[in-house]
Amino acid sequence: MSRQSDVQEHTDTRQEIEGSGRVLEHRSAIIALAAAGIFGPLLFTVAFVVQGLLRLDEYSPVAETVSALEAGPGGWVQQVNFVVFGLLTIAFAVGLHLGVRPSRVGIVGPAFLGLSGVAMILNGAVFPLREDAAGLTYDPGGHFVFGLTYFLSNAAWPIMLSRRLAGDPRWRSLATYSLASGVAIALLFVANGALVIPDGAPLHPYAGVAQRVVLAVLFPYMIVLALRLLRVGRSAPHSWTTSARMQ
Protein backbone atom coordinates (compact mmCIF):
# COMPACT_ATOMS: atom_id res chain seq x y z
CA MET A 1 0.00 0.00 0.00
CA SER A 2 2.84 2.36 0.84
CA ARG A 3 4.43 1.80 -2.57
CA GLN A 4 1.13 2.37 -4.35
CA SER A 5 0.60 5.53 -2.34
CA ASP A 6 4.07 6.82 -3.28
CA VAL A 7 3.43 6.08 -6.96
CA GLN A 8 0.08 7.86 -6.85
CA GLU A 9 1.60 10.85 -5.07
CA HIS A 10 4.39 11.02 -7.64
CA THR A 11 1.84 10.88 -10.48
CA ASP A 12 -0.29 13.60 -8.92
CA THR A 13 2.76 15.82 -8.42
CA ARG A 14 3.87 15.35 -12.02
CA GLN A 15 0.41 16.14 -13.35
CA GLU A 16 0.24 19.24 -11.16
CA ILE A 17 3.62 20.46 -12.47
CA GLU A 18 2.61 19.80 -16.07
CA GLY A 19 -0.70 21.57 -15.52
CA SER A 20 1.05 24.59 -13.99
CA GLY A 21 3.42 24.70 -16.94
CA ARG A 22 0.54 24.73 -19.41
CA VAL A 23 -1.18 27.55 -17.51
CA LEU A 24 2.02 29.62 -17.52
CA GLU A 25 2.46 29.05 -21.26
CA HIS A 26 -1.17 30.04 -21.82
CA ARG A 27 -0.78 33.24 -19.82
CA SER A 28 2.48 34.12 -21.59
CA ALA A 29 0.78 33.66 -24.95
CA ILE A 30 -2.09 35.93 -23.95
CA ILE A 31 0.33 38.63 -22.80
CA ALA A 32 2.22 38.49 -26.11
CA LEU A 33 -1.00 38.58 -28.14
CA ALA A 34 -2.27 41.50 -26.05
CA ALA A 35 0.94 43.39 -26.89
CA ALA A 36 0.10 42.88 -30.58
CA GLY A 37 -3.24 44.58 -29.97
CA ILE A 38 -1.56 47.53 -28.27
CA PHE A 39 1.35 48.11 -30.62
CA GLY A 40 -0.50 47.29 -33.86
CA PRO A 41 -2.71 50.41 -33.99
CA LEU A 42 0.04 52.61 -32.52
CA LEU A 43 2.73 51.57 -35.01
CA PHE A 44 0.30 51.74 -37.92
CA THR A 45 -0.79 55.26 -36.96
CA VAL A 46 2.73 56.57 -36.40
CA ALA A 47 3.82 55.10 -39.75
CA PHE A 48 1.07 56.66 -41.84
CA VAL A 49 1.24 60.02 -40.04
CA VAL A 50 5.00 60.28 -40.58
CA GLN A 51 4.64 59.24 -44.21
CA GLY A 52 1.95 61.87 -44.74
CA LEU A 53 4.15 64.58 -43.27
CA LEU A 54 7.13 63.56 -45.39
CA ARG A 55 5.05 63.49 -48.58
CA LEU A 56 3.02 66.69 -48.21
CA ASP A 57 4.17 67.84 -51.64
CA GLU A 58 2.24 64.96 -53.25
CA TYR A 59 -0.19 63.75 -50.56
CA SER A 60 -3.01 65.46 -48.66
CA PRO A 61 -4.10 63.87 -45.34
CA VAL A 62 -7.27 65.92 -45.59
CA ALA A 63 -8.38 64.79 -49.02
CA GLU A 64 -6.74 61.37 -49.40
CA THR A 65 -7.18 58.13 -47.48
CA VAL A 66 -4.33 56.22 -45.88
CA SER A 67 -4.33 53.75 -48.77
CA ALA A 68 -3.26 56.51 -51.17
CA LEU A 69 0.15 56.38 -49.51
CA GLU A 70 0.69 53.03 -51.26
CA ALA A 71 0.94 54.79 -54.62
CA GLY A 72 4.11 56.41 -55.87
CA PRO A 73 7.83 55.66 -55.46
CA GLY A 74 7.67 55.40 -51.66
CA GLY A 75 4.45 53.39 -51.60
CA TRP A 76 6.20 50.23 -50.48
CA VAL A 77 6.46 51.67 -46.96
CA GLN A 78 2.70 51.83 -46.56
CA GLN A 79 2.32 48.43 -48.17
CA VAL A 80 4.60 46.96 -45.52
CA ASN A 81 2.69 48.95 -42.89
CA PHE A 82 -0.56 47.30 -44.00
CA VAL A 83 0.94 43.81 -43.87
CA VAL A 84 2.53 44.26 -40.43
CA PHE A 85 -0.66 45.73 -38.99
CA GLY A 86 -2.71 42.91 -40.52
CA LEU A 87 -0.50 40.26 -38.91
CA LEU A 88 -0.65 41.99 -35.52
CA THR A 89 -4.44 42.29 -35.83
CA ILE A 90 -4.78 38.55 -36.47
CA ALA A 91 -2.57 37.83 -33.45
CA PHE A 92 -4.74 40.10 -31.30
CA ALA A 93 -7.87 38.30 -32.52
CA VAL A 94 -6.40 35.01 -31.33
CA GLY A 95 -5.56 36.61 -27.98
CA LEU A 96 -9.11 37.86 -27.49
CA HIS A 97 -10.50 34.43 -28.23
CA LEU A 98 -8.16 32.86 -25.67
CA GLY A 99 -8.61 35.57 -23.06
CA VAL A 100 -12.39 35.92 -22.92
CA ARG A 101 -14.59 33.20 -21.46
CA PRO A 102 -15.93 30.95 -24.27
CA SER A 103 -19.60 31.19 -25.19
CA ARG A 104 -21.95 29.87 -27.81
CA VAL A 105 -20.80 31.14 -31.22
CA GLY A 106 -18.32 33.25 -29.26
CA ILE A 107 -15.72 32.85 -31.98
CA VAL A 108 -17.69 35.10 -34.34
CA GLY A 109 -16.36 38.37 -32.89
CA PRO A 110 -12.66 37.41 -32.96
CA ALA A 111 -13.19 35.81 -36.38
CA PHE A 112 -14.41 39.12 -37.85
CA LEU A 113 -11.42 40.87 -36.27
CA GLY A 114 -9.13 38.28 -37.85
CA LEU A 115 -10.87 38.82 -41.18
CA SER A 116 -10.11 42.53 -40.99
CA GLY A 117 -6.45 41.62 -40.52
CA VAL A 118 -6.52 39.36 -43.57
CA ALA A 119 -8.11 42.17 -45.62
CA MET A 120 -5.36 44.52 -44.48
CA ILE A 121 -2.65 42.08 -45.54
CA LEU A 122 -4.23 41.56 -48.96
CA ASN A 123 -4.53 45.30 -49.53
CA GLY A 124 -0.86 45.70 -48.72
CA ALA A 125 0.70 42.65 -50.34
CA VAL A 126 -1.64 41.71 -53.20
CA PHE A 127 -3.92 44.64 -54.10
CA PRO A 128 -2.08 47.89 -53.32
CA LEU A 129 -3.12 51.14 -54.99
CA ARG A 130 -0.95 52.25 -57.88
CA GLU A 131 0.03 55.48 -59.59
CA ASP A 132 -0.29 55.91 -63.36
CA ALA A 133 2.00 57.83 -65.69
CA ALA A 134 0.05 61.02 -65.06
CA GLY A 135 0.56 60.71 -61.30
CA LEU A 136 -3.04 59.72 -60.57
CA THR A 137 -3.81 57.03 -58.00
CA TYR A 138 -5.91 54.09 -59.16
CA ASP A 139 -7.12 50.69 -57.96
CA PRO A 140 -5.72 47.89 -60.16
CA GLY A 141 -8.40 45.58 -58.79
CA GLY A 142 -9.32 44.17 -55.39
CA HIS A 143 -8.26 47.02 -53.12
CA PHE A 144 -11.71 48.58 -52.85
CA VAL A 145 -13.31 45.19 -52.14
CA PHE A 146 -10.95 44.34 -49.32
CA GLY A 147 -11.05 47.89 -48.00
CA LEU A 148 -14.80 47.46 -47.78
CA THR A 149 -14.26 44.11 -46.04
CA TYR A 150 -11.92 45.74 -43.53
CA PHE A 151 -14.35 48.43 -42.43
CA LEU A 152 -17.42 46.19 -42.44
CA SER A 153 -15.56 43.63 -40.31
CA ASN A 154 -14.53 46.35 -37.88
CA ALA A 155 -18.15 47.40 -37.51
CA ALA A 156 -19.25 43.81 -36.92
CA TRP A 157 -16.73 42.39 -34.49
CA PRO A 158 -17.17 44.87 -31.61
CA ILE A 159 -20.94 44.27 -31.71
CA MET A 160 -20.52 40.49 -31.85
CA LEU A 161 -17.89 40.52 -29.11
CA SER A 162 -19.95 42.68 -26.73
CA ARG A 163 -22.25 39.81 -25.77
CA ARG A 164 -19.31 37.55 -25.01
CA LEU A 165 -17.71 40.27 -22.90
CA ALA A 166 -20.94 40.65 -20.94
CA GLY A 167 -20.72 37.00 -19.93
CA ASP A 168 -17.25 37.32 -18.41
CA PRO A 169 -16.95 39.20 -15.08
CA ARG A 170 -13.47 40.43 -15.95
CA TRP A 171 -14.67 41.98 -19.20
CA ARG A 172 -18.27 42.92 -18.38
CA SER A 173 -17.47 46.59 -17.77
CA LEU A 174 -16.36 46.92 -21.42
CA ALA A 175 -19.40 45.26 -23.00
CA THR A 176 -21.38 48.48 -23.48
CA TYR A 177 -18.30 50.29 -24.79
CA SER A 178 -17.78 47.47 -27.27
CA LEU A 179 -21.36 47.62 -28.50
CA ALA A 180 -21.29 51.43 -28.77
CA SER A 181 -18.01 51.35 -30.70
CA GLY A 182 -19.38 48.87 -33.22
CA VAL A 183 -22.56 50.87 -33.72
CA ALA A 184 -20.58 54.11 -34.10
CA ILE A 185 -18.28 52.56 -36.72
CA ALA A 186 -21.29 51.16 -38.60
CA LEU A 187 -22.98 54.57 -38.66
CA LEU A 188 -19.77 56.26 -39.79
CA PHE A 189 -19.39 53.64 -42.52
CA VAL A 190 -22.89 54.39 -43.82
CA ALA A 191 -22.24 58.15 -43.63
CA ASN A 192 -18.98 57.76 -45.54
CA GLY A 193 -20.74 55.72 -48.20
CA ALA A 194 -23.36 58.41 -48.71
CA LEU A 195 -21.49 61.65 -48.14
CA VAL A 196 -17.79 60.98 -48.74
CA ILE A 197 -16.84 58.11 -51.04
CA PRO A 198 -18.77 58.97 -54.26
CA ASP A 199 -16.87 61.43 -56.46
CA GLY A 200 -19.67 63.99 -56.39
CA ALA A 201 -20.44 63.62 -52.69
CA PRO A 202 -20.45 66.86 -50.66
CA LEU A 203 -17.69 65.69 -48.31
CA HIS A 204 -15.56 63.90 -50.92
CA PRO A 205 -12.81 66.54 -50.68
CA TYR A 206 -12.44 65.52 -47.01
CA ALA A 207 -12.13 61.76 -47.56
CA GLY A 208 -8.89 61.59 -45.59
CA VAL A 209 -10.41 63.30 -42.57
CA ALA A 210 -13.53 61.12 -42.72
CA GLN A 211 -11.48 57.91 -42.73
CA ARG A 212 -9.34 59.11 -39.86
CA VAL A 213 -12.47 59.79 -37.80
CA VAL A 214 -13.38 56.11 -38.16
CA LEU A 215 -9.88 55.09 -37.11
CA ALA A 216 -10.10 57.49 -34.16
CA VAL A 217 -13.05 55.43 -32.90
CA LEU A 218 -11.63 52.00 -33.76
CA PHE A 219 -8.01 52.25 -32.61
CA PRO A 220 -8.58 53.52 -29.05
CA TYR A 221 -11.22 50.80 -28.63
CA MET A 222 -8.74 48.14 -29.77
CA ILE A 223 -6.08 49.45 -27.39
CA VAL A 224 -8.49 49.52 -24.43
CA LEU A 225 -9.39 45.88 -25.10
CA ALA A 226 -5.74 44.96 -25.50
CA LEU A 227 -4.85 46.60 -22.18
CA ARG A 228 -7.61 44.63 -20.48
CA LEU A 229 -6.36 41.45 -22.16
CA LEU A 230 -2.89 42.22 -20.86
CA ARG A 231 -4.29 42.50 -17.33
CA VAL A 232 -6.17 39.25 -17.78
CA GLY A 233 -2.99 37.50 -18.90
CA ARG A 234 -1.11 38.75 -15.85
CA SER A 235 -3.84 37.89 -13.36
CA ALA A 236 -4.24 34.65 -11.45
CA PRO A 237 -5.37 31.81 -13.76
CA HIS A 238 -8.98 30.67 -13.73
CA SER A 239 -10.02 27.09 -14.25
CA TRP A 240 -11.57 27.86 -17.60
CA THR A 241 -8.43 29.45 -19.07
CA THR A 242 -6.69 26.12 -19.50
CA SER A 243 -8.81 25.56 -22.58
CA ALA A 244 -10.38 28.10 -24.91
CA ARG A 245 -12.52 25.83 -27.02
CA MET A 246 -13.73 27.09 -30.38
CA GLN A 247 -17.47 27.66 -29.96
Task: State the DSSP string of 6-36.
Answer: HHHHHHHHHHHHHHHHHHHHHHHHHHHHHHH
pLDDT of residue 63: 97
pLDDT of residue 236: 54
Crossing angle of helices 2-54 and 207-234, rounded to 10°: 160
Mean pLDDT of 163-175: 97
What are the residue boundaries of the structural domains of the chain, listed by start?
Answer: 10-242
Better-predicted residue by pLDDT, 29 or 236: 29
pLDDT of residue 5: 56
pLDDT beyond 80 at 54: yes
pLDDT of residue 14: 52
Mean pLDDT of 151-159: 98
Better-predicted residue by pLDDT, 92 or 24: 92
pLDDT of residue 26: 80
Q: How confident is the model at residue 105 (pLDDT cuts 50, 70, 90)?
A: confident
Q: What is the pLDDT of residues 28-52, one digit of tens each?
A: 999 999 999 999 999 999 999 999 9
CA distance 30 to 219: 19
CA distance 36 to 102: 21
Burial of 7 (0-12, 13-18, 19+ CB in 10 A): exposed
CA distance 53 to 48: 9
Q: What is the pLDDT of residues 184-231, one digit of tens each?
A: 999 999 999 999 999 999 999 999 999 999 999 999 999 999 999 999
pLDDT of residue 18: 44
pLDDT beyond 50 at 247: no
